Amino acid sequence: MARLITIPDSRKPSSSIDVKYWTPGGPGEITNTERTHIQGNYTSSNGINSGENINPPTGGNIYTSSSGFYATVNTSKTNDYYSHHFIGSASNSNYNSGKLTGSGLIGSNIYNGARSSWTKGVKGFVCEISADPPSGGGSANDSCGTVNTFRISGAFVDSNGRIRIYDMTAGGTKVFGHTWNTRPSAGWQKMCYYVNSNDQLNMYHLGWVIAFTHKKVCGGGTVQKNCKGAVRYLQPMVAENHGGLYTSAVNKWHIIEGNRRWDERNTHSLLTV
């Protein structure tokens, strides 16, 4: 059996929290952790345009690792490099040769072999983000390479078994912490947003889409710089039924199992008081 994960119901955290322990016992893998490149452009289900022009090296676990999930572009140019990453089980009719096509992702059919917690009511997220360079010295890691946008979207499956994507940052409201389209200060920064939509509340949560804008901002024209973006301890905010999120004391908890097949989605989900 996968770990049972406890998530506060209809609550948003305060800016003073230790993000790692927003969920009791620390963050759990509420979806598969595999990363798949999203190729090309798409418009999210809440009307936000997205696109990419690079597939950089990646690594890490977005839920439990202190290093988080990260993507690094090494470049001597000052161009904007947009990378898009699907975190979750890429078991759907759009998956082909290690990638998902942006224009065909939304509306593609989920397969029974896809795995997630299939949590309903996911409204937003809390996490920590960083644009610090990779460890180690040298001019490539002198912070002239950075990431200046951190977009996070929720991926869902509707009642017809089709994938939907809701941008929670550009299409959402900030609760506290880092502003998604600005360059962060050094170190790990808290970030908490919720989406300005309730359409997804009755859908099953499949995973996440992480979008970085990598950019070299200083240094000579021929000098290579590492532009690294990272997200860690990503956890959902869940709003049962009505979609509201409150800062009062928690009185209900979702208890979910984090690794079930799509055709098992209704077998183990619990809500306790």
Burial of 64: CB neighbours in 10 Å, binned 0-12, 13-18, 19+: middle
Say whether pLDDT at 2 is over 70: no
Question: How high is the pLDDT of residue 273?
Answer: 45
Could you tell me the two tokens for 178?
Answer: 């880092």
Mean pLDDT of the chain: 93
Of 104-108, 170-174, 241-245, which gets the smallest average pLDDT? 241-245
Q: What is the pLDDT of residues 150-200, one digit of tens each?
A: 999 999 999 999 999 999 999 999 999 999 999 999 999 999 999 999 999
Across 23-48, average pLDDT: 94
Question: How high is the pLDDT of residue 269?
Answer: 54
* Ramachandran category for residue 107: left, alpha or beta (phi over 0 → left; psi -120 to 50 → alpha): left
**pLDDT band (50, 70, 90) for residue 267:** low
Across 58-85, average pLDDT: 98
Predicted model pTM: 0.96
Question: How high is the pLDDT of residue 254?
Answer: 85
Say whether pLDDT at 256 is over 90: no
Question: How high is the pLDDT of residue 268?
Answer: 56
Q: What is the pLDDT of residues 51-63, one digit of tens each?
A: 999 999 999 999 9
Q: Are 236 and 30 in contact (CB under 8 A)?
A: yes
Q: What is the pLDDT of residues 201-229, one digit of tens each?
A: 999 999 999 999 999 999 988 999 999 99
Listed in order, strand segments (DSSP E) in 3-117 are 4-8, 35-39, 42-43, 49-50, 58-59, 69-75, 81-88, 95-96, 99-101, 115-116
Question: How high is the pLDDT of residue 4?
Answer: 84
**pLDDT band (50, 70, 90) for residue 25:** confident
Question: How high is the pLDDT of residue 236?
Answer: 96
